[in-house]
Structures are given as C-alpha cells and as structure tokens.
Amino acid sequence: MDNADVRRGNPTNHKDAGLERLEFIHLHKTAALLEAAAVIGVIMGGGTDEEMEKLRKYARCIGLLFQVVDDILDVTKSTEELGKSTGNDAIAGKLTVSKVAWFGEIEGTGGETEKRSRGAACRV
C-alpha cells in the first residue's frame, strides 16, 4: 500500500488498514476542506491566530464526524431513505468505519472506536 492509495481512500491491503489510517483519510478529505474554509473565513474577517486555531480544530471535528456518519449511513440505510445511492464504498473496496470496527463499538458499548472518536483530534 502506498500513500497514493491512502489518499484515494482505497488501500490495497485491508489487513494493515486500521482506525489510524481511516482517521488519516478522513482528515485529508472532508476535514481538510472544512478547515480551509474556516481558516479563510478567519483571515478575511481579520480574526486572531487563537480564533483561527479554534475554528480550525472545530472544522476538523465536523469533517471527521461527517465522514463517520456518512460511512455508517452508507451501510445502514437504503437508497430510498437517504435519497442517494448507498453501498458504493463497499463495492469500491474503500476503507470505511464499517470495515474498521463493529457497529456495537460505535453505538456506545465502550469499544475502541467510541473512545478514539472522543480523542485528541476533536479537542477544541
């Protein structure tokens, strides 16, 4: 697996793909886009470095949250319920939350996924 595979969210060796790799993908995907928008807003509004850092962290958290929810909905809801096609990530072999962790962990049974989701990446 090389960095290009990771950036595309399509690692070739899923045995090596874990929560850290998934977090890397999500941080460099939606989270980075939202971070950029937040930083530009602070710059254009004449905000301070402290305000910029707080909004950067907030945007990163929103991006991570969006991707996790999107991954879960992709396997738990129908195309009709979401109004968009579902199951495409699995068909494409993409690394997703559902590939990394059991849903029981995500739903609050104290699993590693829940613990990490409350971790350092989203402390504002």
Residues 64-101 have pLDDT tens digits of: 889 888 888 888 888 888 888 888 887 887 878 777 76
Q: What is the CATH number of the domain that holds 83?
A: 1.10.600.10
Residue 64's domain comprises 3-122
Span 15-35, average pLDDT: 80
Of 121 and 30, more confident: 30
pLDDT confidence of 8, banded at 50, 70, 90? low
Domain count for the chain, please give it: 1
What are the pLDDT digits (tens) for 30-61? 899 999 999 999 999 999 999 999 999 999 99
Q: What is the pLDDT of residue 15?
A: 42
Nearest to 26 by CA among 58, 67, 87: 67
